């Protein structure tokens, strides 16, 4: 049971838990995306001229920094509420504002470069596939086989023709190219589902950061005015 003096700390506990849960969710998604087999395979075979490796590492570090900022903001807000500290409340507001300023460009980048991630991954697959088709590297053949096994797909529709030999050597057993399991389509469909989930989580994070900024602003003014009212009418004999 909360007393009148403990009312604000008790009310702040559910919000703190939600912000921490959101931060942990973003950190988990970033880690899974970075170390997931399909993303890792494409990143390992990408060339220096390909932009996917940069996107792959940038997204991971951005997600980790964002999650740490949200968790820190939640902890600062919780401690500030318990101690009624204006300084900690302001620091919590700054962390929420910092997270908000990072989320908005990330969402805008996704909509302005809506196909850049998909195109970079498919470019990597095209390069490896054509290298194997020309029989220039046995190492590339192993990479192509690993990609086929990870995405459960088989080859692609090539305008050069004569791809059956490549597919027989690199496709998993039981995968038939004529059934329409084109790897470029599989990569595109997989990324579309993943990015839809990422955008949904970022949208939720934006809503929570706005709520966090409003909450910390309210707490700051509440602490400020309650402190002034508490000192009103008190005098010091000099």
* DSSP class per residue in the chain: ---STTHHHHHHHHHHHHHHHHHHHHHHHHHHHHH-HHHHHHHHH--TT-SHHHHHHHHHHHHHHHHHHHHHHHHHHHHHHHHT-HHHHHHHHHHHHHHHHHHHHHHHHHHHTTTHHHHHHHHHHHHHHHHHHTT--HHHHHHHHHHHHHHT------TT---HHHHHHHSPTT--GGGT--HHHHHHHHHHHHHHHHHHHHHHHHHHHHHHHHHHHHHHHHHHHHHHHHHTT-----
Residue 166 in domain: no
Task: Say yes or no to pLDDT of 174 above 80.
Answer: no
Q: What's the mean pLDDT when you consider all of the chain? A: 81
Structure tokens at 91: 């620091």
| 39 domain-assigned | yes
Residue 62 in any domain: the answer is yes
Domain membership of residue 176 (yes or no) is no
Residue 24: Cβ within 10 Å count: 13
- Over residues 107-121, the pLDDT tens digits come to 999 888 878 888 889
| Dist CA 29 CA 7 (whole Å) | 34
Angstrom distance (rounded) from CA 50 to CA 127: 10
Per-residue confidence (pLDDT) for residue 102, from 0 to 100: 93
The per-residue pLDDT for range 129-168, each reduced to its tens digit, is 888 888 766 788 888 889 988 888 888 876 555 556 777 7
Report residue 24: phi and psi, to 5°.
-65, -35
Output the pLDDT for position 48.
Answer: 66
Domain with 70, as residue range(s), is 12-115+139-148+194-226
Q: Note whether residue 189 is domain-resident.
A: no
pLDDT reported for residue 77:
85
Answer yes or no: is 44 within a domain: yes
Determine the pLDDT at residue 232: 46
Q: Tell me the pLDDT band of 82, cut-offs 50, 70 and 90.
A: confident
Q: Compute the average pLDDT of residues 38-53.
A: 81
Per-residue pLDDT tens digits for 12-37: 556 678 888 999 999 999 999 999 99
CB 116 within 8 A of CB 51: yes
In a domain, 131, yes or no: no
Q: Is residue 184 part of a domain?
A: no
52 closest CA partner among 61, 62, 41, 63: 41
Tokens linked to 168: 């027989």
What is the per-residue pLDDT across 222-238, written as a single tens digit (0 to 9) for each? Answer: 877 775 444 444 544 45
Residues ≥6 apart with Cβ < 8 Å to 130: none
Q: What is the pLDDT of residue 172?
A: 73
The count of domains in the chain is 1
């Amino acid at each position: 049971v909360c007393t009148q003096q403990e009312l604000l700390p008790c009310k702040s506990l559910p919000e703190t838990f939600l912000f921490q849960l959101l931060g942990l969710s973003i950190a988990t998604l970033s880690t899974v995306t970075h170390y997931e087999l399909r993303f890792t395979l494409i990143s390992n075979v990408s060339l220096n001229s390909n932009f996917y490796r940069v996107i792959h590492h940038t997204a991971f570090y951005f997600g980790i920094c964002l999650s740490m900022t949200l968790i820190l903001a939640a902890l600062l807000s919780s401690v500030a509420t318990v101690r009624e500290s204006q300084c900690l409340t302001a620091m919590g507001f700054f962390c929420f504002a910092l997270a908000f300023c990072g989320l908005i460009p990330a969402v805008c980048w996704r909509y302005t470069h809506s196909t850049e991630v998909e195109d970079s991954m498919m470019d990597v697959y095209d390069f490896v596939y054509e290298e194997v088709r020309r029989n220039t590297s046995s190492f590339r053949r192993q990479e192509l086989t690993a990609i086929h096994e990870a995405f459960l797909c088989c080859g692609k529709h090539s305008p050069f023709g004569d791809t059956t030999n490549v597919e027989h050597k690199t496709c998993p057993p039981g995968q038939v190219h004529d059934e329409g399991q084109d790897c470029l389509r599989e990569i595109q469909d997989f990324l579309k589902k993943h990015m839809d989930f990422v955008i949904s989580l970022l949208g939720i994070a934006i809503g929570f950061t706005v709520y966090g900024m409003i909450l910390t602003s309210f707490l700051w003014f509440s602490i400020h005015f309650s402190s002034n009212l508490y000192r009103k009418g008190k005098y010091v004999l000099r």
